[in-house]
Chain A
């Protein structure tokens, strides 16, 4: 990352609109798989570089609500409203909070009304008066009511993905791991055009964040060179180093880097990587 910072001005550090979309899609995937901490970590990084981006703030608000940290959600909402008070996403959460306040007030009114009742029957007497069947039924109702209804409901269609997560499978890593069908593949890094790490799946010890950033820097240089040589838009790069091969595939705003042993069959690698890239594009909606 540092090298990117050396070569870009402050504006250059901000993620491109397409990259924001990818990060939000990825965060959605994490949310669908109940990987809330990963989603917060991902978006916090993007937020630190894009503090005025309403979509990132909105998604972070959603995340903190899901995590049950309403204080943080409200602080972020205030921040969001100061950025754009008319932004639809912020208005939505304002309404939710207002409704919640109304509900609290209603509960308070009911409590006040109960306290004001002149004839109060002791709870013990009421319990004794119930039949066993009534008690059992009420216990069941209480158990159901104990389940806190989240502010944002997760659609049923995502249950299947949640099951996968419970089995310890990250959906993006799962797609990336298809490349391990090629024995010589050592790892993959998925980053955005600015070098921000989206996901990694590596079998070797490397600093994936730095590597992704460095390779995206080479990619950026290559794109401009292809244009100047009238060779058209970027398709891919293969680097044959003395001890290994690196493939970089890009479909803006995402960049897939695959690291392999020296003796990999490059044609097979390219075909497989393109297929993985297509699947990732569909998954991330880019």
Chain B
């Protein structure tokens, strides 16, 4: 949380010094300054993630706006405890971005509220350290290294599922591989990703 404040006034500094959880509580009490502070802190990460999925900046910006607006609307629900704010925000962003590309491709919307991220959010949540810009670079390097350590044949189904919103069946059709092969590759890739990240101690315990 070392992002520089937008101004040096005491009022702004007071908000900037607050942690995410405190800002979410203020947001639940309908304090727009809290939302503004969270936006300044996380908009870049959210935009980067949305852009990675939808591929064009205009759509990514719309998703950023919508994701933060939903966090504003649903702040009271989050306050009940659903992991960290970043995890929640990225999950909202993921759902919006995947819906957007499925809509473009005229594929049915998933519309499942059984979001595993939210379901498991309070378990093994990596915590808020990611928003610290001082460690962001190395954090991302660690993640990318872990991903690159997975054989491409196993990484591809994972990325198609997560960043393109494809089901295993859709991935099998897309790659022209048997469904069983895709399932096996995805399972092996995820296990390796988990093991690699555990070894590198980047958040999974």
* Real binding pair: no
Q: Which residues from chain A sit less than 8 Å from chain B, CB to CB?
A: none
Q: Which residues from chain B sit less than 8 Å from chain A, CB to CB?
A: none
